[in-house]
Structure 1
Amino acid sequence: MTEALDLSAFVQRLEEGGCRIEFAVEGVKDAAAIHAIEHALRPLPGLTRARVNFSEQRLLVEWTDGLEPALIVERVRALGHRIYPFSPRLREEDFEAAQARWLLRCLAVAAFAAMNIMLLSISVWAGNVSDITPETRDFFHWVSALVVLPAAAFAGQPFFRSAIRALSRRSLNMDVPISLGVLLALAISVFETLRHAEHAYFDSAIMLLVFLLAGRYLDQAMRRKTRSYAANLSALRAPTASRIDADGTVALVPAAALRPGEIVLLRPGERAPVDGIIVEGRSEIDQSLVTGETAPVAVGAGHEVYAGSLNFGGALSIRVKTAGAGTFLDEIERLLDGAIQQKSAYVRLADRAARLYAPVVHSMAALTVIFWLVAGASVHDAIIAAIAVLIITCPCALALAVPAVQVVAAGALFRAKIILSAGDAIERFADVDMVVFDKTGTLTLPELGVEADDDAPSGLVERAARLALASHHPLAVALARLSREQTPVADAQELLGSGVRAMIDGAEARLGSPGFCGLEAEAARLRETHPGASLIAFRHGGQATIFRIRQKLRADAASVVAALRRRGLEIVILSGDAAPAVRSCAQALGVADWRADMRPGEKLAFLAELKKNGRKPLMVGDGMNDAPALAAAHASLSPITASGLAQAAADALFLGDLLAPVDAALDISRRAKSLMRQNLAFAVIYNMVAVPLAVAGLATPLIAAAAMSGSSIVVTLNSLRARGAARPVSPGAASAAARGASRLNEARP
C-alpha cells in the first residue's frame, strides 16, 4: 500500500472520463479532521467539490480543467494524513481492522514491558526502605530505562501521532496532554537516574500507556463498521447491455454507453442495466430495490423498470430513460452517502466531555510550575509537581468511562441477540424518542408464508409442493418448502412467464399463474378478499386450488409494539409496498400512523423532517431501499437477514425471527448511557480532589500514577454493572407472543 499507488493510472482515467477522483485517507478520526481536510482543499483553483466520507475513510474530489491531482495529495498530506487513490482492490482491506490489530500490538508491547518493569520497581521500592545500595538502585533504574524507552516509543505511537497532527493544525485534542505527560515522565525519569535519585517513574509512564491503550483498543473494537455497501451496489449493476439496433440486430455494449431513447433487451435471469419503460413483452420482476417487497411483480408494456431489477420470466424490450450515472441505483448511493455524512457529525458523549479537557490540564500544569517557582522552589521541584499534575489528571478514567461501558453493554446486547456495528450506537439508542418500522422483512418474516384453502386435500398440497421443486420462481420456492419429499417431479417442464407442468400418475399437473391453470375467476375473488397476497395456482386432473403466499407478521410483533408504546415511544410504519398490504399490517398491530408506496428518497425526507423538528427516530428496516433511511435516522437496526446494503447502513443487527431485540436494545442502551454519565461524573469529581493535592506538592508522580490507576479500576467496576441490563425474552413470553401473532395473522383479511 504505497503512497504513489497508481496515481498516473487514475489521472489517465480522469482524462478519459472527467475530473473526478476518489482517494482513501487514513487517520480521519472526528469531525474536526473532516473540516480541516475540506477547508484545506477549498481554495484550490477549479475545485467544485471536496467531500470526506467519515464512514468509508474516503475523499471525493471533483474539479474543472486545470487542477493538478498532485496538489490535492500535497494538501492532505500536509495535514498529517496518508492518502492514496482509492481502488476496488483496496476495498477488500478493512482499514479499521488493521488499525485495531496495530493498537493490539501496541498494547501487547506496553503490557509486556509493564509486567517486567514492575518486578524491578518492586525491588527498588522494597530496597529503599531496607538496605539497597545506590549502585544497585541505579542499575535497576537503567535496566528499567532500557526496557521502557523503546517500548514506550512503539506503544505510544497512537497518541504521539495524533498529538502531532493536532498541533500541526494548531489545535488540541485528548492525545496532546497524554503524550506530554508520558514524555515528561520519561524525561524526568532519565534525569533523576542520572542524578542517582531514589525515585524514577518509568513504571508510571508505561502503566499509563497500558491503561490508555486498553481504553483506545476497546473503543476501536466498537467503532469497526462494515465497509461493504459500495460492493453490494456494484453487484446489482449490469456492466453490459443488449442493445437492439434499428435493423433488429442485438449488440452487446457497455451500459454506460447507452443513450436515452435506445432499446435494450432484458432476458430472463438478467438484471436491468438501465432505468426505462417496457415497450414490449410480459414478465415478472423483483423490484425490492424500490419497494422493499420481495414478491415478484407482473409487468408489461408501459411499466417502469429500474436498474438492478431482476427479471424472472419472459424477455422484455425496454426503452432507456437513464443509463450509467443518474440511475435509481446511483440515487440510492447518493442518498446513502449523504445520510452517513450527516450522521458522522454526531458528537459522542466522551467527545463532548473532552472538549475543554486539554486546555484546562495544560493551564493547570503551567500554573503549577509558576506557583512553585514564585514560592521559591527549585526548577526541578516545580517540574516534578507539574508532571504529577499531568499524570494525576491524565484522562485515563475519562478515556475508559465510555468504551468500558460500551464493551460490557455490547456483551449484554449480544446475549439479547444484537450485534453492534457502530461505536456510538448505544448512545444513539438511549436517546431514541420514536420508532419507525419498515414492513416487509422487518415487521413481517423475510420468508414467504403459504396459505391454502381449508378444504384442499393434503395429497393435492403435497403434489403441488413437489412440482414446485422444479421451479426457481420465488412463489414456487416458498411452496416447495411444504413438500415432505425433496425429490422434484420427473420430466417437469417450465414455461417462462407461465409456470411449470409435468405428468403425475398419468394426468397433467400445472403450477403457475391462475390463467395458466384456468382459475382466473377464482383468483379474482381471492384478490378481493386477500389484497395483500400473491397467488399461485395448481391443477391436477380434476382437482385444483390456489395458494395465497405472503409474508406473515413476526411472532412477537404485536407485543413488542405494545412494549415500545409503554415506553412512551411513537410508532410509525413506512413501506414501499402497496397500500392494502401496509394497511392490513398496521391494523393488525394497532398502528395508526403508516405510509405506503414510499421510495427511498421519500423515506429519507420523512426522517429529515422528524429530525428537523427535534425528534430522534430509531429506524428498523431490512431492504436496500431502506439503506438511506437507516443511515439518516438517529439510530437504526436491521435483522441479520437484511440485504448487505441495509446491514452496512445500520448501527446494529439483530438475530432470529423475533422482534424482541428492538425493545432490548433500547432498554440496555438507556441503562448503559446512565452508567457512562456516572463514570464521567466520577472522573470529574476525582480530578477536583486530586488536582489540588498534586498542585500542592502532596502527590509525587508515583502517588499520582497509583491514583490514576485506582480511578480507572473504579470506572471499570462501575461499567460492569451494565451486564445486568439484558432482559432476555422468556420461553413462556415468547410462546405467548407467538400465539398472539398467529391469531393476528389468521385474522388478517
Structure 2
Amino acid sequence: MSTPERDWAAFVTDTDDGRAHMDLAVDGITCAACMYEIERGLQKLEGVEKARVNLSSHRLSVDWDQKKTNPSPIVDLLQKLGYKAYPFDPAQVKSRGDVAGKEILRALAVSGFAAMNIMLLSISVWSGNASDIDNETRAFFHWISALIALPTVAYSGRIFFRSAYMAVKTKRLNMDVPITIGVLLATGLSLWQTIQEAKHAYFDSAVMLLFFLLVGRYFDHLMRRKTRAFAENLATLKAESAAKILEDGTTLDVPLSKLTVGDRVLVRAGERISVDGRIAAGSSEVDQSLVTGETLLQFVAKGDLVYAGTMNADGVLEIEVTAAAKGTLLDEVNRLLETAMEGRSRYVHIADRASQLYAPVVHAAALLTLVGWIMLGMAWQPALVIAISVLIITCPCALGLAIPAVQVVASGLFFNERVLLNAGDAIERLAGVDTIVFDKTGTLTLPEASLSKDHGLSPEQLDLAGRLALSSSHPLSQAIARATGAQQILPDAKEVTGKGVEAIVDGTQVKLGSPAFCGVADAKLVQARDRQPDASFVAFQLGEADAHLLPVGQFMREGATETIQKLKDAGFSIEILSGDHAGAVKHAADVLGVDCWKAGLKPQDKINRIEELKAQGKNVLMVGDGLNDAPSLAAANVSISPVSAVHVSQAAADAVFLGDSLAPVMSALTISQKARGLMNQNLALSVIYNLIAVPFAVLGFVTPLVAALAMSGSSIIVTLNAVRLRMIAGTTTQPDQEA
C-alpha cells in the first residue's frame, strides 16, 4: 500500500536548487548487507541522487530531485525491501533501541530457563537409553520436553523468525534464515519423533541453539547501542529565542524563526548569544571557547562579528543579525558533523565482513547433504536428520560470539582504565591507529580556567582576591574564586561594569579586575604575556602598592607530557589542530615536544587536515572536546573525547575518558590492539571448527544433539579465549604497532 505523500512532506527539507533531503529511522537493519541493500535499492529509483545509511544509528539520509520523485516511492521501496521507516528523531530511535534490547533480554531469559530444564530431562533419557528405561517413561519425558520447547521456540525464536521471514519475502538471504530453518526443522522433527515414540528427540538442540544465539545477539546489541544524540545536545548551546529590539527601542522576546537579516537583538551580560551577527552598539568580552576553541576572552566592540553559542561575559550588546534560525555557525557545525558521521558509518565490522557469505554457503551445504543422501538411497527422515545436523553444527554461534565476547571483556578493561565506549566497532578502529590528532583547549589542557600556582600572592592577599572575586560574575573572577576556595564576599564590595571589583578593607582600597583598572603598565602586561601566552591576566592591587598580575588559564592536563612522549616512542605521529591563537598553541606544542601544529582553525579546516591525512593512507585518531571539534571527531577514523567535553562532542566520539589525566588515551590504544588480535583469533577458531565439524556432519557421523553440543562447545571456546584479554592486556604498557 502506497504511503500518502502528505504524511512525509513535513519532514522534507527543500533546497534552493530544487533538491530535497529527508532523514529516516529504519527498523530491521541487522548488518552491513542490509545497509548495502537499502542504498543500492534507493539509488536505482529515478531522481534519487544520494542514499546513505548509518549502520550504528540506523539513520537513512536521502537526497533527491523534486522534479523527478517525491518521498512516497522512497518509503514504499523500503517497505518492499522489508524495512519499516519513521521520521528520524534521536529520542525515538533510542527508545526503540531500548525496546528491542528488552525484547532480546526477555527471550534470552526464557530460552535459558527452558534449556536447563530440557537438558535435565534429556540427561535422564540418555542414561536410560544406555540402561533400562522403558518406552512409556521415555515418551513421557519427550512430551514434557515438547511442552517446554514449543512455547519457548515460538517466544524466543520470533526475533530470528521475523527477520528471516522479511528476508525471504523480499527474495534475499541473511544469517537468520539458516537459523530459522535449523530451529524449526529440529523442533518439527523432534515433535514427529515424539508422536512416533522414537528413541531420540532433539528439543534440547533447538532450545540450546536459540539460547547461545540470543547471547550473541544481546552482546551485539549492547555494543551497538549509541549515545550520539547530537541533534538534541545542540539545543543546549542554541537558544530558541532572542530579545528583538523594536522601532520604539523596547525589546520583545521572539522565536529565532521570526528574525530576519538586519534585525537587531539585545544580549545582556551573562547571556548566551543566540544569533550570528555584527555588533551595532556596545562592547564586551565574549567566551568563544566552546565554539572556536579560543581560550582567551575576546574583546568585541562595534563592527565585530559574534556567533551563536558563544557567551557574553560582561557588557550589553546590540547585535545586527546576519543569520538566526538557519545558516549560523552552529548549523554549519551540525551539517559538517552529520556529513562526517555518515562517511564514518561506511566502516564494516569484522564480524559483518566474515558473515556476508555465511548464509548461502550453509544453505547450499545442508541442501546438498539432504539431496545427496536421498540420491544414495537413504530414506527422507534420516537424510533430513543429517541435513539438520549440518545446519545446527554450522550455526553461527561461535561467529556471533567471536567479536561481541571480546568487546564485552575489553569494555570492562576500558572501564578500569577510565574509558567508556560509545561505539561497538571503536575497538577495531582504535587498533588500526597510526596518527593521533589532538585539540588543545580542554583536551591537552584542563577544561576549566584555573589560577596558576605562580601568582605571587601571600596567603592573606590570595584570600582577599578570592573574596573580591566572589562579587563578580566574570569567568576569570569565578576561576579565581574557585582556586582560592573563598566562601564569604567582602561586605562593601562593588563591581565597576566592564572593569572589575573594588572594596575598602581596614581603610585600604583593594581592587581586582582588568590590568588597566589596577594601573598596570602596558610593558609589564606584554612581558607577562610573553612568559605565559596561553593565560589571561587579572590584576590585584592592595592600596597604593604595585598591582600583581594573576595568570588565569587552561593549563596542561596531568601526565600530558609523559603520555605524548610514550605515544611518540610507540611510533605514533602526533599533531595538534586548534582553534586557539598561534601563541598559545605554539607554547603548548613546545612544552609537549610536538613539531606539527596548526592554530586558528575553523571546523572545516580541521576536517580538511584529517581528510588529507586519510588520503595519505593514515589511520587517524582525533582527541577533542569543543563544539568546533565535533565534526572532526566524526570525520576521523576513530575518536576520543574527555568527559568534560560539550555534549555534542561526547556524542560524536567513539569513546570518552574520565578524569584530568591524558593517560587513558594510551591505555585505550594498548587494550584495543590486544583485543583485535583476539577477535581475529576467534574468527579463525570459528573457521577451523567448521572445517573440522562440517565433513563429519555431512557424512552422517553427527546427530542433531551432538551438533548442538559441538556448537555450544565452539561458543564456549571463543568466549574463554576472549577472557584471555584480561591477562594479555596487562603484559605490556605500550601499544604494539605490529599487533
Q: Quick check: 1:566 aligned with 2:569?
A: yes
What's the secondary structure of 1:94's corresponding residue?
A: helix
Alpha-carbon spacing, 1:454–1:672, altered in 2? closer, same or farther (3 Å): closer
Shift in Å at residue 536 of structure 1?
0.9
Partners of 1:695 and 1:15 lie apart in 2 by 56
| RMSD (CA atoms) | 2.8
Letter in 2 for 1:529: R
Q: In structure 2, how many angstroms separate the alpha carbons of the residues matched to 1:724 and 1:658?
A: 24
Matching residue of 1:423: 424
Q: Distance in 2 between matches of 1:15 and 1:612?
A: 32
Deviation at 1:663, TM superposition (A): 0.9
Query: 1:398-428: per-residue Cα shift (whole Å, max 9, x none)?
Result: 1111111111111111111111110011111
Corresponding residue of 1:434: 435
The answer to whether residue 630 in structure 2 is matched with residue 635 in structure 1 is no
**Partner in structure 2 of residue 29 of structure 1:** 30
Deviations 1:508-561 (A, max 9, x none): 322221122222433233223332210111223224211011222122111111
* One-letter amino acid of the structure 1 residue matched with residue 238 of structure 2: R
Q: Tell me, in whole angstroms, the C-alpha distance in 1 between the residues paired with 2:149 and 2:732.
A: 50
Where does residue 78 of structure 1 map in the other structure? Answer: 80
For the structure 1 residues 413 and 5, does the alpha-carbon distance in structure 2 shift closer, same or farther, using more than 3 Å as the test? farther
Range that drifts further, 70-79 or 373-382: 70-79
Per-residue displacement from partner, 1:214-253 (whole Å, max 9, x unpaired)? 1111121112110321111012222222333455443433
Cα deviation code 1:566-606 (max 9, x no counterpart):
22111111111111111011111111011111111111111
Aligned to 2:656: 653
| C-alpha distance in 1 between matches for 2:378 and 2:347 | 47
1:186, 1:202 → 2: CA distance? 6
- With the length of structure 1 as denominator, give the TM-score of the two structures: 0.91
Task: Indicate if the aligned counterparts of 2:57 and 2:226 stay in contact, CA closer than 8 A.
Answer: no
| Residues 335 and 396 (structure 1), Cα distance of their counterparts in 2 relative to 1, 3 Å cut | same
The residue that corresponds to 2:168 in the other structure is 167
Give the partner amino acid of 1:554. Answer: R
Q: 2:591 aligns with which of 588, 594, 614?
A: 588
- Say which SS state the counterpart of residue 318 (structure 2) adopts: strand
- Give CA-to-partner distance per residue, 1:144-178, whole Å, 9 cap, x none: 11211111111112222222333344332222222
Which stretch of the first structure deviates more once superposed, 16-25 or 385-394? Answer: 16-25
Counterparts of 1:415-564 in structure 2, within 5 Å, are 415-451=416-452, 455-521=456-522, 522-543=524-545, 544-564=547-567
Is 1:614–2:617 an aligned residue pair?
yes
SS in 2 for 1:549: strand
- State the Cα distance separating 1:454 from its structure 2 match: 6.3
Query: Secondary structure of the residue that 1:563 maps to in structure 2?
Result: helix
Give the aligned residue type for 1:297.
Q
Match of 2:580, SS state, is coil
- Counterparts of 1:697-712 in structure 2, within 5 Å, are 697-712=700-715
Q: Distance in 2 between matches of 1:715 and 1:86?
A: 37
Q: For residues 454 and 629 of structure 1, do their structure 2 counterparts lie closer, same or farther at Cα, with a shift above 3 Å needed?
A: closer
Give the distance between the partners of 2:171 and 2:613, measured in 1 at CA.
37
* Structure-2 separation of matches of 1:666 and 1:53: 25
Q: Distance in 2 between matches of 1:348 and 1:129?
A: 47
Native 8 Å contact 1:94 1:227 kept in 2 = no
CA distance in 2, matches of 1:679, 1:45: 44
Classify 1:235/1:65 alpha carbon distance in 2 versus 1 (closer, same or farther; 3 Å): farther
Whole-Å separation in 2 of the counterparts to 1:50 and 1:681: 34
CA distance in 2, matches of 1:361, 1:729: 40
Amino acid at match of 1:74: D
Partner of 1:737: none
> Would the alpha carbon gap of residues 4 and 271 (structure 1) be closer, same or farther in structure 2, given more than 3 Å must change?
farther
State the AA in 1 paired with 2:440: K
Question: % of aligned pairs identical?
Answer: 51
Indicate conservation of the 8 Å contact 1:626/1:646, yes or no. Answer: yes
1:412–1:725 contact (8 Å) kept in structure 2? no
Segments of 5+ residues of structure 2 without an aligned counterpart are: 735-739
Counterpart of 1:717? 720
Change (3 A) 1:6 1:420: farther
Tell me, in whole angstroms, the C-alpha distance in 1 between the residues paired with 2:498 and 2:433. Answer: 46
* CA distance 1:235–1:728, shift in 2 (3 Å): farther
Report the equivalent of 1:183.
184
Deviation at 1:48, TM superposition (A): 6.5
> What is the distance in 1 between the residues matched to 2:170 and 2:502?
72
Match among 682, 694, 698 for residue 695 of structure 1: 698
Contact 1:534 / 1:548 at 8 angstroms: preserved in 2?
yes
| Cα offset, 1:703, TM superposition | 1.1
Does residue 1:597 correspond to 2:597, yes or no?
A: no
CA distance in 1, matches of 2:456, 2:333: 46
CA–CA separation in structure 2 for the residues paired with 1:267 and 1:10: 40
Instruction: State the SS of the aligned residue for 1:577.
Output: coil
Equivalent residue for 2:675? Answer: 672
Structure 1 residues 649 and 89: CA distance shift in structure 2, 3 A: closer
- CA drift of 1:332 comes to 0.9
Q: How much has 1:701 moved relative to structure 2? A: 0.9
In structure 2, relative to structure 1, the CA distance for the partners of 1:562 and 1:265 (3 Å cut) is: same
Paired residues for 1:82-161 under 5 Å: 82-86=84-88, 90=92, 93-161=94-162
The 8 Å contact of residues 25 and 86 in structure 2, kept in 1 or not, is answered as yes
- 3-state DSSP of counterpart to 1:318: strand
**What is the one-letter code of the residue matched to 1:280?**
A
- Say whether 1:662 aligns with 2:665: yes
Q: Would you say 1:575 and 2:578 are equivalent positions?
A: yes
How far the C-alpha of 1:678 sits from its partner, in A, is 1.0
Q: Bigger shift: 398-407 or 21-30?
A: 21-30
Going from structure 1 to structure 2, the CA distance change for 1:280 and 1:7 (only over 3 Å counts) comes to same
Query: Quick check: 1:415–1:728 contact (8 Å CA) kept in 2?
Result: no
Q: What code does the residue aligned with 1:235 have?
A: T
CA distance in 2, matches of 1:712, 1:649: 33
1:308 alignment partner in structure 2: 309
| Aligned-partner residue type, residue 83 of structure 2 | H
Partner Cα distance (1:88, 1:424) in 2 = 20
Q: Distance in 2 between matches of 1:677 and 1:41?
A: 34
Partner in structure 2 of residue 739 of structure 1: none
Q: Note closer, same or farther for the CA distance 1:524–1:320 as it changes in structure 2 (3 Å cut).
A: same
Structure 1 pair 14–420 and aligned structure 2 pair: CA distance change class (3 A)? closer
Per-residue CA deviations over 1:22-55 (Å, capped at 9, x if unaligned) read 4433233334333444444456677676554444
1:107-506 equivalences under 5 Å are: 107-246=108-247, 248-451=249-452, 455-506=456-507
Question: Partners in 2 of 1:16 and 1:619 — Cα distance?
Answer: 33
CA contact (8 A) 1:124 1:140 kept: yes
Asked if structure 1 preserves the Cα contact closer than 8 Å seen for 2:90 and 2:231, the reply is: no
CA shift, 1:432, in A, is 0.7
Residues 346/269 of structure 1: CA separation in 2 closer, same or farther (3 Å cut): same
SS at match of 1:436: strand
- The one-letter amino acid of 1:626's match is D
Q: What SS is found at the alignment partner of 1:475?
A: helix
Distance 1:208 1:15, change over 3 A: closer
Q: Which runs of 5+ in 1 are unaligned?
A: 734-749
Contact 1:405 1:676 in 2 (8 A): yes
Quote the Cα distance in structure 2 between the aligned partners of 1:726 and 1:128. 47
Q: By how many angstroms is 1:327 displaced?
A: 1.1
Deviation at 1:634, TM superposition (A): 1.0
In structure 1, C-alpha distance between the alignment counterparts of 2:170 and 2:432, rounded to whole Å: 33
Summarize deviations over 1:171-226 as a string: whole Å, max 9, x none.
32222222221111112111222222111111011001111111111121112110
Q: Secondary structure at the match of 1:130?
A: coil
Structure 1 residue 256 displacement after superposition: 2.2
Counterpart of 2:737?
none
Whole-angstrom distance in 2 between the partners of 1:276 and 1:414 = 44
Partner SS for 1:265: strand
SS in 2 for 1:110: helix
CA distance in 2, matches of 1:5, 1:87: 19
Counterparts of 1:12 and 1:719, CA distance in 2: 48
